[in-house]
A and B are shown apart, each in its own frame.
Chain A
Amino acid sequence: MDVLNLAHGSFYMIGAYTAYTVVMATQNFWLALLVAPVLLAVIGAALEMVFFRRLYRHGHLPQVLMTFGFTLVFVDLIRSRFGPTTRAIPPPPGLGGAVHLATATFSSYSLFVLGIAIVIGALLVIGWRLTRLGVVLRAGVSDKEMAGLLGIDLPRTFTFTFAFGAALAGLAGVIAAPEFAIYPGMDANVLILALVVVVIGGLGSIEGALLGAAVIGLGYVIGSTLFPQFAIGLIFALMAAVLIIRPSGLLGRRS
């Protein structure tokens, strides 16, 4: 969609807090996996229709300003609702232990996250490549005017895409909740990482984002082991290296 949405991290944070609320109320983590995406889809669609729609023609800078404004609003709302305390939820029953594979040990929940990420990633690629919506979206991304001329209802498509993106971010927040801590400010950290991942992969490419995530994930783990203090710096160095060699990311189209 070519929208620079800094509030995407807020969607992730809201997803995590939804997980916290649902788990505290019902002890059922799986329910949160359903509730959060629906909630975020509604929030996303509303924001798109009321606010972001007006921004597409203004370019990236007003988008940066407005969506940054939303990050402030969301973080303050979260803080007033839940307080500034760090929260945590345990992994769902049965996934709280460790798994030994050969000489390595992984936490079961981490493996679960890996599995679910692969499934979602695969579904996204299939949807992007093979479904009608995917085709429409790809058309909309590459040439808005042409897609409009071909009779595609762009406003509706964009609302749907935005809502879908928000729902995915919310889902990610739920999945991340038992793995990390839940606190106001978790949005900023994940936002920067997500931007790095997307840019390394190449904008407008789902496969690129998946590849970018793999590169960053590996880079971070190797970095943490070799240069623990500079792991985050290493990620940025990695991104810089990729962009210097391939200015439009790994799988992005050359402009």
Chain B
Amino acid sequence: MSDEIEDYLNWKLAGRIDRRDFLKLGVSAAGIALVAACGGSNTVGPTGPTGPEFKLGVVLPYSGVYAELGNSITNGMRMYFDSVGNQAGNRKITVVTADEQVALADAVAATKKVVEQDGVDMVAGYVSSPNAAGNRNYLDGLKMPTLIANAGVNSLSRAAKSPFIYRTSFSNWQPSHPMGTYVAEKLGKKKIQLVYAKYGAGLEAVAAFKETFTGSGGTIVGPDVATPFPNNGDQTPFVQAIQTDKIDGIYCFMSGTDAVTFLKKAAELGTLKKLGLVSGAGFFVEQDVLAAITDAAPDGAITGLHWALPLANKENQDFVSKYSKKFSGRQADVFAVQGFDTARVIVEALNAVKGNTTNKDAFMTAIAGVSFKSPRGDFKFDATTNNVVQTIYVRKTVKDPKLGWTNQVIDQYPGVADPGK
């Protein structure tokens, strides 16, 4: 237990430093970066960056049901910023955080606070889709460069996209769309029942799956098992609504606490064992869920996501081990990767414009042009949707002797781009 508390306190301490006296720390941080000199292309003079401070407003949940995601994304960002000495394009990067909480009204207040009170140059964050969508007009109207670091609502890459808002995480469509083809064609499972938490993300994800699944000759066996979101009650009736004898398997969209309670109950009732296939969007069995349920995990579940803990590329191996070292043994997760990449996009874009962000259009062009090898594989933006183009990995849930319960990559769909026009 104690290492976790320490980890948490460290994190919180860092947060406070950011808010209050980052300036005082700036010089020493740059100094440390010099010593660390991690082989980047940035040349830092002995006195650190001389340009004006670059203020980044981070709006993420630090209380309420999504606090865990907010923490992971923030950790990922901090890790990347630290790795470049918290500076880019000759500007020192200062992070100002504000608590997104849960409700839109609070997220709006948090956004206005960083923009108007702190006068930030850029905004990044948003875990919940309604909160990202609800702030869209305000940010777009101000021409505020913005990176969405989690919220997956499809419309932000489609009808509601903005030239000033790019997304580094995923659209809800992305992880599920290739899975329909995979389940029907590669696995040959043709009768699938849909199981999902009934809210925006769940609906968009299963719709994307259904499109390719039925397109590849599969049949959705009804009725869908749609749980309330969030489901604070007993999951038994929903688990028992799975028609094990009529289907080849299920495709599932749930995350966090809902996934934990659902999988636990399904394991206890023996439902998981009776299913030929448990498949879904990767959040269903992401590391946070697996850590909680341990041996109730659905052995052999096949899920799609833009990352996996054991992903073999060098960037990921580096990321996972450094993350764990930096945050006292905490395991990296997909949200931390999203935070890490978000920070990297900011740094690379700042370097590309040499720290000049007064020309917003030029800065956005620089953001659009950022591409690199991320822990999740090749990362670049789609000029049409302003959304990330990325590999979707097909993963199998296994108990790894070293990593414990995790998701082994068994196949991949490179360059998956949201179909927005």
Binding site for B on A (CB under 8 A): 21, 24, 76, 79-88, 90-91, 96-98, 105-110, 179-181, 183-186, 189, 220-221, 224-225, 228-232
Contact = CB atoms under 8 A, between A and B. Distances in A.
Nearest to B223: A228
A90 B265 CA distance: 11
A221 B234 contact: yes
Contacts, number: 102
B8 A87 contact: no
Contacts of A230: 228
Contacts of A107: 236, 265, 268-269
B240 A86 contact: no
Interface string B224-237: 01111000111011
Contacts of A76: 63
9 contacts: A85-B288, A86-B288, A88-B261, A88-B292, A90-B296, A107-B236, A181-B264, A220-B233, A232-B232
Contacts of B1: 21, 24
A154 to B, nearest CB: 37
Given A86-B289, A110-B268, A189-B232, 8 more contacts: A85-B292, A86-B256, A90-B296, A97-B268, A107-B268, A181-B292, A220-B234, A224-B237
A110 B265 CA distance: 10
A229 B199 CA distance: 10
Contacts of B158: none
Interface string B31-75: 000000000000000000000000000000001110110010000
Given A88-B292, A90-B294, A181-B260, A229 B68 contact: no
Interface of B: 1, 4-5, 8, 12, 63-65, 67-68, 71, 198, 225-228, 232-234, 236-238, 240-241, 256-257, 260-261, 264-265, 268-270, 288-289, 291-296
Contacts of A189: 232
A217 to B, nearest CB: 9
Given A24-B1, A86-B256, A228-B228, A185 B65 contact: yes
Contacts of A97: 268, 270
Contact of A84 (B67, B236, B261): B67
Nearest to A179: B234
A80 B8 contact: yes
Given A183-B257, A231-B233, A98 B292 contact: no
A198 to B, nearest CB: 18
B63 A79 contact: yes
B236 A231 contact: no
A146 B295 CA distance: 57
Contact of A221 (B226, B237, B256): B237
Contact of B5 (A81, A86, A109, A221): A81
A214 B260 CA distance: 26
A98 B233 contact: no
B268 A109 contact: yes
Contact of B269 (A24, A86, A98): A98
Given A79-B67, A83-B8, A91 B268 contact: yes
B296 to A, nearest CB: 7
A86 B69 CA distance: 11
Given A90-B294, A228-B226, A181 B238 contact: no
B379 to A, nearest CB: 27
Main secondary structure of the interface of B (DSSP, over half): helix
A29 B367 CA distance: 53
A108 B268 CA distance: 8
Given A81-B5, A221-B237, A86 B270 contact: no
Contact of B238 (A105, A109, A224): A224
A86 B68 contact: yes
A110 B236 contact: yes
A183 B291 CA distance: 14
A232 B268 contact: no
Contact of A98 (B12, B268, B289): B268
B260 A86 contact: yes
Which of A21, A24, A90, A109 has most chain B Cβ within 10 Å? A90
A83 B238 CA distance: 29
The 7 A-B pairs with the shortest beta carbon distances in the complex, nearest first, are: A84-B67, A107-B268, A224-B237, A189-B232, A88-B292, A84-B68, A181-B260
B295 to A, nearest CB: 7
Contacts of A181: 257, 260-261, 264, 292
Nearest to B256: A86
A84 B234 CA distance: 21
A98 B270 contact: yes
A100 B120 CA distance: 61
Contacts of B295: 90
A180 B232 CA distance: 8
Contact of A105 (B4, B65, B270): B270
Contacts of B291: 85
Contacts of B8: 80, 83
A86 B227 contact: no
B68 A85 contact: yes
Nearest to A100: B270
A87 B68 CA distance: 12
A231 B226 CA distance: 12
A86 B1 CA distance: 14
Contact of A86 (B226, B241, B257): B257
Contacts of B63: 76, 79
Contacts of A108: 268
B382 to A, nearest CB: 32
Nearest to B294: A90
Contacts of A106: 236, 269
Contact of B264 (A79, A88, A228, A229): A88
B9 to A, nearest CB: 8
Contacts of B292: 85-88, 181
